[in-house]
Structures are given as structure tokens and as C-alpha cells.
Amino acid sequence: MTKRSYAILGTGAIGGLYGARLHAAGFPVRFLLHRDYEQVRDRGLRVDSIWGDLHLHDLDIYPSVAQMPPADVTIVALKTTQNSLLPTLLPPLVGDRGLVLVLQNGLGVEAEIARMIGDRVLGGLCFTCSNKIAPGHIDHLDEGKIALGDFRPDGQPSGITDRLAAIASDLETAGIPIDRQADLILARWKKLMWNIPFNGLSAILDAKTDALVADPAIRTLAIELMHEIRAAAAATNRHIPAEFIDTMLTTTDAMRPYLTSMKLDLDHDRPLEVEAIFGNPIRTAQASGVAMPQTLTLYRQLKFLDDRRPCQV
């Protein structure tokens, strides 16, 4: 039986990790590369991982989507700050029948892509500590599970669809742990329970995750933010049990000291994913009559930092 083909948009901490695992498992994988193209062409893609190190030299890599054939599944692992590129990047890869799997943080990202290609979008939430530490070099430190769900344009839960099950099976064959989600939007709100406090506070306070949870005042602030996110989710008819807060804290307590993606983006003068992770949830809650004052404070602080970034060419 012919294996599904995959295209990777964003061969960084997420796309590089999962794309390399799919390739190593024998799936046809095509990688779009820009700045790292020559490095990977000449020296391969290196992934140091808790699942076993990979150094891959026989990859199918491209400097432009114009040269890439369509894929059965296109994985979008770009930062949401690059989504303005997707109307150009996606159509040649998706064709008439291809699916898109969105591995991005935040809320509303699937709806944005569905407006481009129609009802062929799935979403995944990556629970992983993975960084790109050099061109063509990924360091996977901890975790790695993907919460995978199908997307419905009407915002209702999709259940476990056939296409979700098929992609989940491929990823599991590649050694990637998968948590199948019947309600993708609920899964996104649950991921925000971690992303909003820990991405935001790590960037603003210049701290790793272990320092944040070890400080009593900041731990309390993180808990207050999580309660605020729970209330916002409930206003949109997505209900998260209160005990989930303890789960997030326990997970973070056990995590290796980690600089979040937003902290690393700030340190390297890269655009921050402020709108997807903070702005969209705030606006969604406001539309349902719920305020998120502490999240709004973080949002304003991060916008200030983002606006002061040096202009990048």
C-alpha cells in the first residue's frame, strides 16, 4: 500500500522534528527550506531527540513551492506571524484533494486557513520542548505528544473522523504519540491554559519555566490566568474541568527547565505570536461577553515588546 506523502512548511523546531520522524519511518516527505536550504543540502538535517538522534542526508528538499509536487497532507509548522505567506504557499501543495494539518499555537488558525482552501483542514497542538538551535539542527528536549483534531467551519466538534484517524495512524507509525481529540476547539482552549501564562510570563520576566513555577507569586499569577482562560472557554461553550489547572502545573513542575518559544523569539528579535495566542482568545471572549483583564495586561506588554523589535530585512 502506497504511503501518504507529506509536505512540511516550516522546517524548524516543530516541522523539523515531526517531518524527520515521518521520513525516518519511510513516508515520502518534502521539506520547504529557505535560509537553511544550503546547510541541509550539504550537511543534512540533524535532530537530537529523546526519541533517538537522527542525522538525515537523503531528504527531499526544496527552496521554493514552485518546484514541489502536491502532497496528500501539507503540515503547516510556520509561526502564525508568517501566515500572510500561506495564500501563496498552500495552493500548489494542496491541489484539489490534499489536506492541511496546522501545527500552530493559538486560536482561530484553522478558520484562517479554511478560508483559503475550504473544508480540508485539521489541527494539532504540539506538547513538546523542541528548539531550533542552529541552521538544520533541532534539539528535542522533552515531551512530544500531538493532540490531533479535525476542523469544522461551523465551530462544532467533529468527532474522530476517518481522515483524522488516518493521519494519526501515520504519525504513530513514525513514533509520535498522538492524542485524538473529538473537539479541536476545546483542545485549543486547553493548550492556551499553558501557552498564555507560560509563554507570556517567560518572555516578560526573562525566565525559564522552572523559575516561573518555583516562585510563589508567579505561580499564583499563572493559576489566576488559567482560571481566566477557563471562564473565557466556558463562555464559548467549551468547558475545562478545574482540575486541569493542577494537571498543567504538575506537567510544568516535571518539565526540564525550558525557554519557551515566545521567549526565544523575543531574544532573537523575531516577531511574537501575540495575536494568535493572546489577541484572538481575548477578542473571542469579548464577543461572548467575558473580559480577560489579566490576559489583556500580558497582551499589551507583549505588544509593546513586539513593537520595539528592530526591523528585520
- Cβ atoms 93, 72 nearer than 8 A: no
Residue 142, SS3 per DSSP: strand
Q: Is 104 helix (H, G, I), strand (E, B) or coil?
A: coil
Residue 105 CA to residue 191 CA, distance in Å, equals: 8
| Lookup: cell for 109 | 488558525
> Could you tell me which of 11, 66, 15, 5 has the C-alpha nearest to residue 41?
11
Which pairs from 244-247 meet CB under 8 Å and 24+ separation? 244/190, 244/193, 245/193
> Which residues make beta-bridge pairs with 60?
30
C-alpha distances (whole Å) from 311 to each of 12, 194, 204 are 22, 29, 20
| CB neighbourhood size of 63 (10 A) | 15
Which is the catalytic residue, given 191, 208, 263, 303? Answer: 191
N-term to C-term CA, the chain: 46
- Residue with grid cell 519557551, as numbered in its chain: 260
Cβ proximity of 193 and 226 under 8 Å: yes
Active site residue 191: yes
Q: How far is residue 150's CA from residue 164's CA, in Å, rounded to a whole number?
A: 6
Helix (H), strand (E) at residue 15: helix 15-24
Amino acid at 75: I
Task: Give catalytic residues, as residue numbers.
Answer: 191
